[in-house]
């Protein structure tokens, strides 16, 4: 989906206050958000406008998704359109007027964006870029009502804040321990493993190929509790990965839902090995706010074989509940 993964970092500010900063992992934020939240019907239709084509196998030049992406740029030029993925854009309320909004986008490297099965010197050149924004004109009487209301109470927005982290796992290791967050416990944790060479950018491999790499067990320690409550005994080589696969749909709130993300069990074992862990007290994905839990969040991984030469990168996406308010002076304030 070159419409989003073309950018390595997205920053958004309101009135000079940073309200979102993806860090240098925006492509993974965009990929995980799209792959795990959009239904197969959307992936096969609307997302093609952003350069997304359903793929069944990674690093395979005969795959239909790879062939479709090649066909899209066969004449050396293409037009794509995608919605920017950031926290404020994923809630339904409108932004107040008189708020200066600044978007800052940084390009990904060509080696990261391009995947080819041949030796080449392909490069990406942006010829033209536009941002489309929806603006709503209110009746004058409504503007007066809003102004009066803001005199007594600020406008409040409930956000699902996301944070991206990555951690290097050196070759030769059979276990890995890492502190992920130190202050607040996320409500949901999404993670996977990719090769370090792909993560850094290499046009010979796909950077979103999340493979199991011999992962046998994992454990999340968050706020004094351990997740999953009973460790999964995984053996991907022998077709034993059903528990984390079903748990992924439970944690996404898509269990027995016809509008689920459409990742099959076969895909989950081969390139879509993305683990989703619900860290809420109710263990039920809802749109409501959860009580904030203080404490550190740690992860422990155990492998059945040593990490291969070149090493791996642990890609982590965490979600937190957050409130953002804007008062009548258009001052921005955040509360966890």
Ramachandran class of 90: left when φ > 0, alpha when ψ lies in -120 to 50, beta otherwise? alpha
Give the start-to-end residue ranges of the domains of the chain. Answer: 2-335
**Alpha carbon distances (Å) from 248 to 1, 302, 336:** 23, 19, 26
Tens-digit pLDDT string for the chain (336 aa) = 899 999 999 999 999 999 999 999 999 999 999 999 999 999 999 999 999 999 888 888 888 998 998 888 887 889 999 999 999 999 999 999 889 999 999 999 999 998 887 777 788 999 999 999 988 888 888 888 888 889 999 999 999 999 999 999 999 999 999 999 988 899 999 999 999 999 998 888 899 999 999 999 999 999 888 999 888 999 999 999 999 999 999 999 998 888 899 999 999 999 999 999 999 877 666 666 667 778 899 999 999 999 999 999 999 999 999 999 999 999 999 987
Query: Residue 19: in which H helix or E strand, if any?
Result: strand 17-21
Dihedral (CA of 203, 171, 318, 95) sign: negative
Helix, strand, coil distribution of the chain in percent, nearest 5: 25, 30, 50
Measure CA 328 to chain center: 33
d(C-alpha 159, C-alpha 87), whole Å:
6
* pTM of the full structure: 0.91
d(C-alpha 177, C-alpha 298), whole Å:
7
In this prediction, residue 290 carries a pLDDT of 67
In this prediction, residue 115 carries a pLDDT of 84
- Tell the CATH topology of 2-335: Jelly Rolls (2.60.120)
d(C-alpha 167, C-alpha 36), whole Å:
22
In this prediction, residue 205 carries a pLDDT of 87
């Amino acid at each position: 989906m070159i419409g989003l993964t073309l950018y390595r970092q997205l920053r958004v500010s309101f009135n000079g206050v940073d309200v979102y900063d993806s860090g240098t992992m925006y492509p993974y934020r965009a990929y995980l958000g799209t792959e795990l939240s959009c239904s197969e019907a959307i992936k096969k239709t609307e997302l093609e406008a952003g350069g997304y084509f359903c793929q069944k196998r990674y690093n395979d030049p005969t795959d239909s998704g790879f062939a479709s992406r090649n066909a899209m740029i066969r004449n050396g030029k293409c037009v794509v359109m995608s919605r920017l993925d950031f926290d404020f854009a994923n809630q339904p309320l409108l932004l107040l007027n008189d708020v200066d909004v600044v978007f800052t986008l940084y390009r990904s490297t060509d080696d990261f964006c391009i995947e080819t099965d041949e030796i080449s010197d392909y490069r990406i050149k942006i010829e033209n870029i536009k941002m489309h924004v929806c603006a709503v004109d209110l009746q004058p009487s409504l503007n007066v009502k809003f102004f009066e209301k803001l005199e007594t109470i600020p406008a409040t927005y409930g956000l699902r804040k996301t944070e991206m982290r990555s951690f290097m796992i050196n070759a030769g290791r059979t276990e890995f321990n890492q502190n992920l967050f130190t202050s607040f416990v996320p409500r949901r944790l999404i993670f996977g493993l990719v090769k370090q060479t792909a993560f850094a950018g290499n046009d010979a491999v796909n950077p979103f190929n999340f493979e199991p790499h011999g992962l046998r067990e994992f454990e999340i320690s968050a706020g004094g509790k351990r997740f999953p409550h009973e460790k999964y005994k995984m053996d991907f080589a022998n077709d034993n990965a059903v528990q984390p696969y079903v748990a992924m749909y439970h944690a996404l709130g898509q269990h027995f839902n016809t509008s689920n993300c459409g990742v099959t069990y076969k895909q989950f074992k081969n390139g879509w090995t993305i683990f989703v862990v619900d860290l809420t007290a109710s263990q039920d994905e809802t749109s409501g706010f959860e009580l904030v839990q203080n404490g550190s969040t740690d992860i422990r991984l155990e492998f059945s074989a040593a990490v291969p030469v070149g090493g791996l990168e642990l890609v982590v996406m965490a979600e937190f509940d957050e409130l953002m308010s804007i008062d009548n002076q258009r001052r921005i304030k955040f509360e966890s």
